[in-house]
Amino acid sequence: MATILLLAGGKSTRMGQDKAMMNGGVNRLISIYSRLKAQRIITLCGDKSRIKLFEGEVWADPDDVSGPLELLKWCFTKIGGDIQIIPCDAFGLLDSGAEWLLKQKNGVPLDTYKQRQPLMARISNRELINYDATTINGLFDRFPSLEEVEFSKQFSNFNSKSELSEN
């Protein structure tokens, strides 16, 4: 089983409200992975002022880490074993898609537009991580794409209210 990293520290400026609290928020994702008997669920909350917004194991960004790319690299050094990354704006993710992702070894799922969703990467082989990368996409450029048409809609994320209303 994998450690689940829930990304909930963004400012959600394009969405206009905190995505970590929308559509059941992080609690909905915690419920999904709890039902699937995840070994460990960690919510990455951003700055320390956000810790109390979330239940369970919650980590604030370290002071010397800047941005999501550096945060992920830092997390990979602190967590052993397999990791499943899930962003808080995975509003369409259901138990079925989450379970399918957990059954994969390594990879980046494709959404319905066949776009790679690196913030949903499944990691079991750390040697594939490109620690020299300067982008999140680059961090996972050695990972295969994971395509499953049945679940691809669940692997979309949302950055604006218009994207949310389109789906």
Check whether 18 has a pLDDT greater than 70: no
Residue in 63, 73, 26 with CA at minimum distance from that of residue 45 = 26
The answer to whether the beta carbons of residues 120 and 87 sit under 8 Å apart is yes
Sequence spans of domains, the chain: 3-166
Largest CA distance in the chain: 41
* CA dist list (Å): 17 to 1, 46, 68, 144: 33, 15, 19, 33
pTM of this prediction?
Answer: 0.90
Q: Is the pLDDT of residue 15 over 60?
A: no
The residue-averaged pLDDT of 98-117 equals 96
Mean pLDDT of the residues in the chain: 89
* pLDDT tens string 114-137: 999 999 999 999 999 999 999 999
pLDDT of residue 30: 94
Tokens read off for 123: 């990691």
Q: 34-83: per-residue pLDDT in tens? A: 999 998 999 999 999 999 999 999 999 999 998 999 999 999 999 999 99
73 vs 61: CA distance, rounded Å: 12
Whether CATH 2.60.40.1180 fits 3-166: no
